[in-house]
Structure 1
Amino acid sequence: MKLHTLKPAAGSTKNSKRIGRGQGTGRGGTSTRGHKGAKSRSGYSSKAGFEGGQMPLQRRVPKFGFRNPNRVEYKPVNLYQIQELADNKKLDAIDLQVLIDNGFAQKNDLIKILGKGELKSKLAVTAHKFSASAKEAIEKAGGSVTTL
């Protein structure tokens, strides 16, 4: 077997319809485009969302809402998650790299520590932002808070 002898299996390919090649072919005349109208003309291309002059869906449905382009998104990490992390990994300091390594955030995420749960360990916690309750709980447990 050689590359130039390869052929598709018998019956697996069909010849394309040759339209507009005379009346004798059965596909001459209008060349399967029907009579008149924009779709029968050459150069026709439909615009996305065009509904033949009817008011299109994207204009019928009202607009609503607002997305602030300057919004800063923080990944939330709660105190109970930090406590679990400290217990499992035997840590005395929680910083950005520890949280990234344990799947709490990606490397470009901003992290905010929230106050849900209880903190028993004395930890030095470093993050981009802290809620007031989280800050209070960490300092009450004897730990320290560092804001990046």
Structure 2
Amino acid sequence: MTEEDPSALIDARIASLGDWRGETLAAMRALIREADPEVVETVKWRKPSNPNGVPVWEHAGILCTGEVYKGYVKLTFANGASLDDPTKLFNASLDGGTRRAIDLREGDMPDAAAFRALIGEAVAFNLAKPKKR
């Protein structure tokens, strides 16, 4: 793996946190990979003010991003407003027309089966979108 390998960059980001936020991001990453073995990890939006960039999980488009803040880990689903969320995992960005997010504070962990189902919904949504020419 090179230093620019997205999965290695995400590994390094998780390790650099060294607290519950890294553990939470690692746990959510594992659930994403379980839910979609074909998921592609990328890191986007790297810039001087955010040299680590943002971990992104994709399958036929962006599924979700994993941002880390001082008090919470935010998983933003690119097309969350279009996804079925029967267990009400989304608890942030609820007023947006497209995205929805899950904010996880220390000690929070969503129901694993419900989260994997949400990832499956996101994959199905992306696969159903008409292909751009």
> What TM-score, normalized to structure 2?
0.21
Give the structure with the larger helix fraction.
2
In proportion to residue count, which structure has more strand? 2
Q: Which has the larger radius of gyration?
A: 1
Larger RCO of the pair (alpha carbons < 8 Å, separation 6+): 2
